[in-house]
Chains A and B, each alone.
Chain A
Amino acid sequence: MRQVAPVSIAGAPPGAPGTAKRSLIPARSLVLKLLSAVILFGAWEIAGRIPVSYAFPTFLESMAALFRMAADGTLWVAYAETLQPLAVGVAISAVLGIAIGLWVGLSNFFDWLFSPIFIVMQAAPLAALIPLLVLAYGIGLTSKVLVVCIMAMPVIVLNTASAVRNTPENLKEMAKAYLASDPAILTKIVIPAASPVIFAGLRLGVSAGFIGAILAELKITPTGVGDIITFSRSIADYPSMYAAIFSIILLAVLFLNLLEWIESVLFKGNQRGYVSD
């Protein structure tokens, strides 16, 4: 598990968990993001130079390894492999997770039926479950997709459900007074009102899905990016190992920014939160 640690720390990228701090001035937020990246990479470089551990390369060494792997194609081949379970798992988790979450949030019966499953799933030590999954579904794509889903889905379901349950009562009442049908209340009130929390859940779920994808490749069969990590570690090529880890974090951050952008396009007025009075 040791190799995964950096992923899980940095896998929760800036601004992901709950603290949806969105600036009104995009230029300023971009500058801040770049600044925090520079500080982080600077610290990495210094830590690598001291060095903290002989197994900890500098930032520049790692970047060199990254470009080398990108140039000779190893990286792209690895991602073609890794992205399969990741994309499938994240897509299933997002669609199914939001759908189940809406259901659970709207109906006490489904809440009673499903909530405990997802709470257990969220708390379960995944590493212990992986051998069971392999036993049942083999070492193929299915098991890896399942690992991604187990990581990503619970937080999406639970966030969606609690967002739906917390729909402001006065807005639902207003919709009823203006003759909204139940489906209209769902699409015009409940979902837009829940969208900030649903998206927060999606961001957390997607980060967890990235961790799941790498975990699956480290624990089930070393393929893709997981293979680069395992293999470079075994031959003590630490710059390549960290380059691989860095690339997956970078991908996660880029994807989360894409999500944020989608949210801001879909639900413009929500950016300033709720009008409380």
Chain B
Amino acid sequence: MAMSQTEPAVAETQAIPESAVSTRNITKFYGETEALRDLSLEFPRGQLTSLLGPSGCGKTTLLKIIAGLLEPTSGEVEVNGKTVTGPGPDRAFVFQDFALLPWASVLRNVAFGLEMRGAGKSEREAKAEHYIKQVGLAGFENAYPHELSGGMRQRVGLARALAVDSQVLLMDEPFSAVDEQTRRKFQEDLLALVLNENKTFIFVTHSIEEAVYVSDQIAILLPRPSRVHEIIRPSINRESGAANIRRDPEYLDIVDEIWASLRSYVE
């Protein structure tokens, strides 16, 4: 089932958990360019929210504002009830352009966040190795980024974010550079992660199917200046297994519906 933002949220059958992250009336100007306009969104705790919207609509900008890397021109972000003034240990970022250190091995790249948090060498390397395995890069611990494919680099960025064990994961198109098979596997892993760990995921994607497949909530953004066009909460039964989700009539309906509402901006 889907609903637009204007309808009251109580129409939802299940209660929405309290928000881990909320953005209030965010406006962001880059000089003269208005990237975001009066954007308010709630991100329920323990759930995955996707940001879906055309290229250049301000998804990365919003994510960086939540991360505390950019200052909004006006408005504010709250994480766990506290106003964000800068980066914090409660948030980890997966960058769209990977942002790996070219002079550091995979192991050191993945351990970077732990290193900055002051973890000892053996502890952070053990943790890093664990997450390197989890993203399927076992055996590449000592490789350098230039020796990896684009998709593998992206997974290093993913492992780095997972390794710091933050409450909120900000993922900027984390699967954009992996092949379709890996992508499907990652989507399943991500679902498992959302289910098993009580983390809040904020996930940027260009793929409607991917958004519907993995999300508890999808925010559809309009082109610049970006506002929330619609919030969709797919209530797909996720216990039924990967193949069944993709065959679920509700899944197909929502994909169609989103395409219908985005289509006008593409044409």
Q: A-side interface residues toward B, CB under 8 Å?
A: 170-171, 173-181, 184, 188-189, 192-193, 195, 267-270, 272-275, 277
> Which of A170, A179, A267, A270 is B97 in contact with, Cβ under 8 Å?
A170
Instruction: Output the least CB separation between B100 and chain A (Å).
Output: 6
Known A177-B93, A179-B87, A277-B150; contact A170-B99, beta-carbon cutoff 8 A? yes
Chain B residues lying within 8 Å of A267, measured Cβ to Cβ, are 103
> Which of A174, A188, A195, A273 is B99 in contact with, Cβ under 8 Å?
A174
Closest to A172 in B: B99
Query: What are 14 inter-chain pairs, A to B, with CB distance below 8 A?
Result: A170-B97, A170-B99, A173-B95, A173-B99, A176-B86, A177-B87, A177-B95, A179-B87, A192-B104, A267-B103, A269-B146, A275-B100, A275-B153, A277-B97
Known A267-B103, A269-B104, A277-B97; contact A179-B144, beta-carbon cutoff 8 A? no
Q: B-side interface residues toward A, CB under 8 Å?
A: 64, 67-69, 86-89, 91-93, 95, 97-105, 112-113, 115-117, 144-146, 150, 153, 160, 164
Q: How far is the CA of A193 from the CA of B144 in the complex (A)?
A: 15
Known A170-B95, A192-B103, A269-B104; contact A175-B116, beta-carbon cutoff 8 A? yes
B146–A184 contact, CB under 8 A? no
Q: How far is the CA of A177 from the CA of B161 in the complex (A)?
A: 10
Chain B residues lying within 8 Å of A174, measured Cβ to Cβ, are 93, 95, 99
Q: How far is the CA of A195 from the CA of B104 in the complex (A)?
A: 13
Instruction: Output the least CB separation between A183 and chain B (Å).
Output: 11
Q: How far is the CA of A174 from the CA of B91 in the complex (A)?
A: 12
Main secondary structure of the interface of A (DSSP, over half): helix
> Which of A184, A273, A277 is B116 in contact with, Cβ under 8 Å?
A184
Known A175-B116, A176-B87, A178-B164; contact A270-B102, beta-carbon cutoff 8 A? yes
A173–B69 contact, CB under 8 A? yes
Q: How far is the CA of A176 from the CA of B104 in the complex (A)?
A: 17
Chain A residues lying within 8 Å of B102, measured Cβ to Cβ, are 269-270, 272-275
Chain A residues lying within 8 Å of B93, measured Cβ to Cβ, are 174, 177-178
Q: How far is the CA of A272 from the CA of B95 in the complex (A)?
A: 22
Q: How far is the CA of A109 from the CA of B133 in the complex (A)?
A: 47
Instruction: Output the least CB separation between B175 and chain A (Å).
Output: 16
> Which of A176, A272, A277 is B144 in contact with, Cβ under 8 Å?
A272
Q: How far is the CA of A208 from the CA of B113 in the complex (A)?
A: 41
Chain B residues lying within 8 Å of A273, measured Cβ to Cβ, are 102, 146
Chain B residues lying within 8 Å of A270, measured Cβ to Cβ, are 102-103
> Which of A176, A179, A195, A274 is B117 in contact with, Cβ under 8 Å?
A179
Q: How far is the CA of A180 from the CA of B160 in the complex (A)?
A: 14
Q: How far is the CA of A177 from the CA of B94 in the complex (A)?
A: 10
Given A176-B87, A269-B101, A275-B153, 17 new contacts (CB under 8 A): A170-B99, A176-B86, A177-B92, A177-B93, A177-B95, A178-B93, A179-B87, A179-B88, A188-B101, A192-B101, A269-B104, A269-B146, A270-B102, A272-B102, A272-B146, A273-B102, A275-B98
Q: How far is the CA of A189 from the CA of B109 in the complex (A)?
A: 12
Q: How far is the CA of A171 from the CA of B68 in the complex (A)?
A: 15
Instruction: Output the least CB separation between A169 and chain B (Å).
Output: 10
> Which of A175, A179, A272, A274 is B89 in contact with, Cβ under 8 Å?
A179
Chain A residues lying within 8 Å of B117, measured Cβ to Cβ, are 178-179
Q: How far is the CA of A275 from the CA of B101 in the complex (A)?
A: 9
